[in-house]
Chain A
């Protein structure tokens, strides 16, 4: 279900593994959320036309956050062939075209205008009721996005338009605008309204986090920080840490009652417009009634490391919903599963997992020679896009196979690797500590016991040094070698 980047990547990868499936979507064309948003028509994920690696190579993916992942080189790095190059953030229409072109060229077939409405079990099949009849399947994958407006329970918020209902920017000309929420969507709106609004207030209970401080995609992205600079330079924008107590609609304006946590002081704002940039949830319909547990304020489905419902086996999720399968979050570093750059890799792994577990399609597992092992691991740490985009979340796994020798077991969720142990194996990830140092970590599993071996960092992020080689040999000796 779903024809956003999540659904498209999974469908493409299933096809290449030979797994028969169908894709349905409530939309009329491919692209998902990017058919409408971001509201101000430019993405917050970049694609660098010029990078240290040639476009279309695997290594180049690290610099291109927006293209989906084909096997065929001619369909790779598609975004670069579509964007006009005026910004390294593609525009929304360019992103929509990138996704639709991928679907068209790689033959992803979607039944559009078909909305899933209800779900039930029938023996070993799932039955999906839709506006276009019933579908039966062994395995459903719900890639329905996280873009349904979500509002906290604040008295009076029913009368407040959501981000989703924002009007054209010029209609805010000369008006006082109060934005509830200090995450990217709130700051995006504030940035776009800077030249229109007479006054902008951004408020929520806890201080705004900035991505350059959190060193992750959690936090307001640099390109939306302008309102914050306006605030600290006392230019007129107000960024307030306070809870919103209630909102009263008056004739032609609103009164917003706020309270600061520390001073317990109250402030009331009289404004012309209020916008709830309070986040989004996922339209998972009746799944909670079937036992699918949800988590967090916005109630996303709780998932296993392989993006299966934690409580209802056989129900899988795709795309940005993967943000609710957070992995280990070592040193607090979140996954990038909410963005295309992260969930596109999860999608490929999920397809492989479903193919192996439910359809007996064994993925390819190439042999690695003993002589190549160390350089293979360090080259992965230096260049593998999966590891760079999904730190401490996805790992390259190498196992010792009694018959075949040293075998590349592909990229897998790190948490899964640590929880299963078993065979003698090594997994390599990239991680980041609280000091902001990025370094590779090897996890070795020997006779069922797992240990962690952090390798040194490197100022240029190139881990192919003799120091690193020695550390790898010391760690894998007796496990693989």
Chain B
């Protein structure tokens, strides 16, 4: 039994999408993601720019801006960037930090392998996507 886990592992354990992982799995995941810090007002995801990444928020707050409209607010545990990576297209919106933001980042080209190696994370992401789709459909109806 480990008494003093890494900070990073501990932080991951608290996020919904990693809730089903064992400790050694968490540790492996922690080692494959990079932490990044974004100052207030810094752009994280850029509309129209190729080669983007998948982000998971650890701390802080960001907004999704399509054109000039704020369409969503993102907080701890939320993730973004996966749509452009999965579709192989540049993002269609900006994501901007509105409070200092800490994220875990996975470069786009590693996402497929990451999801295949961690099917339980993949399932959690799928559930979250289903919720987003349901909300959007309801909104439209």
CA distance A262 to B42 in the complex (A): 37
Interface residues of B in 37-73 (CB under 8 A from A): 37-39, 42-43, 46, 48-53
Asked whether A332 lies within 8 Å of B53 as measured between CB atoms, the reply is yes
22 intermolecular pairs with C-beta atoms under 8 Å apart: A153-B4, A204-B31, A205-B28, A205-B30, A206-B32, A243-B28, A260-B24, A261-B28, A264-B22, A295-B35, A295-B37, A295-B102, A302-B37, A310-B100, A326-B36, A329-B53, A331-B51, A331-B108, A332-B53, A332-B107, A418-B49, A451-B48
CB contact between A155 and one of B4, B50, B102 (< 8 Å): that residue? B4
Is A45 an interface position by the 8 A CB rule?
no
What distance in Å separates the Cβ of A439 from its nearest Cβ neighbour in chain B? 11
Would you call B110 an interface residue if the criterion is a C-beta within 8 Å of the partner chain's C-beta atoms?
Answer: yes
Which of A153, A246, A452 gathers most chain B CB within 10 Å? A153
In the bound complex, residues from chain B placing their C-beta under 8 Å from that of A433 are 51
6 cross-chain pairs, A with B, having the tightest CB-CB distances, nearest first: A332-B107, A330-B51, A331-B51, A302-B37, A434-B109, A206-B31
Report B138 CB to chain A, min CB distance, Å.
34
Whether A297 sits at the interface, judged by CB under 8 Å, is yes
Contact A332 B6 (CB under 8 A): no
Q: Does A38 contact B (CB under 8 A)?
A: no
Beta-carbon contact of B28 and A332 below 8 Å:
no
Interface of B is mostly: mixed
Q: Which residues of B contact A293 (CB under 8 A)?
A: 37, 100
Closest to B52 in A: A330
Name the A residues within 8 Å of B1 (CB-CB): 245
**Counting CB contacts under 8 A, is A168 at the interface?**
no
B residues lining the A interface (CB < 8 Å): 1-8, 22-25, 27-28, 30-32, 34-39, 42-43, 46, 48-53, 90, 100, 102, 105, 107-110
Q: Which residues of chain A have C-beta atoms less than 8 A from B24's C-beta?
A: 205, 242-243, 259-261, 264
Question: Which A residue's beta carbon lies closest to that of B10?
Answer: A153
B41 CB, min distance to chain A CBs, angstroms: 9
Number of A-B contacts (CB under 8 A): 99
A290-304 Cβ-contact flags toward B at 8 Å (1 or 0): 000101110000101
Pairwise interchain contact B31-A452, C-beta atoms closer than 8 A: no
- Is A152 among interface residues, defined by CB-CB distance under 8 A? yes
A380 interfacial contact with B, CB 8 Å: no
> Is A454's CB under 8 angstroms from B50's CB?
yes
CB-defined interface of A228-268 with B at 8 Å, one 1/0 digit per residue? 00000000000001110110000000000001111010000
Residues of A at the B interface (CB closer than 8 Å) are 152-155, 204-206, 241-243, 245-246, 259-262, 264, 293, 295-297, 302, 304, 310-311, 326, 328-333, 392, 418-419, 431, 433-434, 450-452, 454
* Structural contact, B6 and A153, CB atoms closer than 8 A: yes
Q: How far, in whole Å, are A398 and B134 apart by their CA atoms in the complex?
A: 47
* Contact flag A431-B35 (CB < 8 Å), given A261-B27, A297-B8: no
CA distance A332 to B113 in the complex (A): 14
Q: From residue B125, how far is it (CB to closest CB) to chain A in Å?
A: 19
How far apart are the CA atoms of A332 and B53 in the complex, in Å? 7
How far does the alpha carbon of A264 sit from the alpha carbon of B6 in the complex, in Å? 18
Q: How far is the CB of A163 from chain B (nearest CB, A)?
A: 18
Q: Hey, which chain A residues are within 8 Å of B8, CB to CB?
A: 297
A79 to B34, CA, bound (A): 34
What is the CA–CA distance of A304 and B12 in the complex, to the nearest angstrom? Answer: 26
Are the C-beta atoms of A330 and B50 separated by less than 8 Å? yes
Shortest Cβ distance from residue B53 to the other chain A in the assembled complex, whole angstroms:
7
Q: Check A153 against B53 for contact (C-beta < 8 Å).
A: no
* B33 nearest in chain A by CB position: A206
Given A155-B4, A243-B28, A261-B28, also A331-B107 (CB < 8 A): yes
Q: CA of A366 to CA of B73 in the docked complex: distance in angstroms?
A: 45
Complex contacts, A154 vs chain B, CB 8 Å: 2, 4
A403 CB to nearest B CB, Å: 31
For the complex, give the distance between the alpha carbons of A302 and B40 in Å.
13
A452 x B109 contact (CB < 8 A)? no
Instruction: Please determine whether B34 and A296 come into contact, CB atoms closer than 8 angstroms.
Output: yes
Give the distance in Å from the alpha carbon of A295 to the alpha carbon of B30 in the complex.
14
A454 to B110: give the CA distance in the assembly, Å.
22
A297 lies within 8 A of B109 (CB)? no
Task: Assess whether A452 is in contact with B48, with CB atoms less than 8 Å apart.
Answer: yes
Contacts of A206 in B (CB 8 A): 28, 31-32
Shortest distance in angstroms between A239's beta carbon and chain B's nearest beta carbon? Answer: 15
Contact residues in B for A155 (Cβ distance below 8 Å): 2-4
B50 with A452: CB separation less than 8 A:
yes
Closest residue of chain B to A449, judged by CB?
B48
Q: How far is the CB of B9 from chain A (nearest CB, A)?
A: 9
Q: Which residues of B contact A451 (CB under 8 A)?
A: 48
